Amino acid sequence: MKWSAIRTPDVRMIYPDTASGLAARTLHYIRSVQPSIGYGFRHGPKAVVKEDSLLVYLVSRDPAVRRYEEDLIRQIDANNRTAAVVAVSAEPYAVGGVSFDLNVVLGGGDTGVYGCIPYVFTAQLLGYYKSLDRGLNPDSPSVSGNIHRVVEGVTIYPYER
């Protein structure tokens, strides 16, 4: 896989060549919200947190990764207000000084490559019910017909090592 980079005075983005369109849209988004971002405001997740946001943390099973996540959780909690905060984790989860409105506990389960699947189900269920709440049809997600529930035109090739 080949990689490219976009470098501007305020943004450095590295992305696979296959995602150049997404990278360009992301850069456009960053530039459009930048005027509303205060001094010292971290990029990424914090840039889109608003008072009416439902904030869902998909908490890593890896303790080394969780330390960084907990720093971000504390920082967002101290500086941002949200409608609700949900933590999705493998086991009951708490961060000192931060209260979650809900902790979805997935259970120990697989810690290997398939350990992410319960997190995906949680996010898909949230998206499904939010679509219904907004009067959208999850089985027909695109009014224009460009997006289909079933991916079309993909060839599945034999796996070779």
Question: How does pLDDT run across 24-79, given as a tens digit for each residue?
Answer: 777 766 666 555 444 334 556 666 788 888 888 989 888 888 888 898 899 888 88
Which amino acid would we find at residue 112? G
Confidence of residue 87 (pLDDT cuts 50, 70, 90): very high
pLDDT for position 39: 37
- Alpha-carbon gap, residue 55 to 100, rounded angstroms: 10
Is 0.75 topped by the overall pTM? Answer: no
- Residues 96-149 pLDDT 10s: 989 999 999 988 766 677 777 888 888 888 888 888 888 888 777 677 777 666
Backbone φ, ψ for residue 36 (5° rounding): -95, 5
Contact 50, 63 (CB under 8 A): no
- Alpha-carbon gap, residue 101 to 83, rounded angstroms: 9
> Domain 50-141 sits in which CATH superfamily?
Glucose-6-phosphate isomerase like protein; domain 1 (3.40.50.10490)
- Alpha-carbon gap, residue 54 to 50, rounded angstroms: 9
